[in-house]
Amino acid sequence: MSILVFIETEEGKIKKSSREAISFGAALGETTALALGSVSEEELATAGQNGAAKVLHVADDRLNAGLIQPYAEAIAAAMESTGAEVLVTAKSSLADAVVGRVAAKTGAGLVSNVVALPDTSNGFVVKRSIYTGKAFANVSVTTDKKILAIKKNAIDLKQDGGAAAVEALSVSLDDALFGAKITATEKAEGDVLLPEADIVVSGGRGLKGPENWGMIEDLAKTLGAATGCSKPVSDMDWRPHHEHVGQTGVKVSPSLYIAVGISGAIQHLAGVNSSKYIVVINKDEEAPFFKAADYGVVGDAFDVVPKLNEALKKAL
């Protein structure tokens, strides 16, 4: 089975979610990765640690803008030139827009939110997460070519491989594909960004005001985590809107989600219930969030969080 993995980069570095996609592909068979735009050969070679045998690099500077149409054209051309039967990518806002077009160009069957390796004992059956992580569906893919978009943090990350060979790939891209222009980009800020975070510490109205957010940031710093918040908190401008976690905000699936002073409205739960472990800290023992929690602490956040942070500093 020939596997091609589309890898996304941010500021010249391969994203963790793309490294997970490479690990997924390597578990299926010999894997070739594909990078678009300006990335150093040294960085691309590190894809071998995650299981890529080689990396094909389309070093066209016009691709640095991340425009959807040329990305789709380049990926479809790479599938054609490599004879790839399966395209693997991380599920992301960029990939969601690109792989649908690739599927249309190549006639591939597309499955998104994939959480496990396909069952090939009787066909090609893929398990995917549905209903914001509340259930799973097994999807049979019957097309010759297949595209799998892997849910973040759903796949074990392989990190014991060697360096991958990096080869230039020439793809002809018509100027008409670059007709759109991105005039401005507003990026989320922070040491660790929510979409890529393995640990998230979020706060809610129980913190009583923005002046008390220091203990959330301190705990996040200790854990190497991203910070998040509930919708009411961002609506009141206590925290920036890019930290809003929930159905209408950022949906996260970290290994650990710590909710401090958040009651657990259904809209918030929809954005976090794919987390592997959820820890809730709330002084209201009737808070709905406790029903979704793996671990819960009934107590005043202003007492619990500083003590937890100090204990973690000693343990880590």
**Euclidean distance between CA atoms 171 and 173, whole angstroms:** 6
Which residues carry a binding-site annotation for FAD?
A: 205, 261-268, 282
Which residues carry a binding-site annotation?
A: 205, 261-268, 282
264: left (phi over 0), alpha (psi -120 to 50) or beta: left
What is the secondary structure of 225-279 as a DSSP string? -EEEE-HHHHHTTSS-GGGBBSTTSB----SEEEEES----HHHHHHHTT-SEEE
Contact 46, 13 (CB under 8 A): no
User: Which regions of the chain does DSSP assign to beta strands (E)?
Assistant: 3-6, 9-10, 13-14, 31-36, 52-58, 86-90, 109-114, 125-130, 135-140, 146-150, 165-168, 199-203, 226-229, 256-260, 277-282, 295-298
Give 207: exposed, middle or buried? Use CB within 10 Å, 0-12, 13-18, 19+: buried
Q: Are strands 295-298 and 277-282 parallel, antiparallel or unpaired?
A: parallel
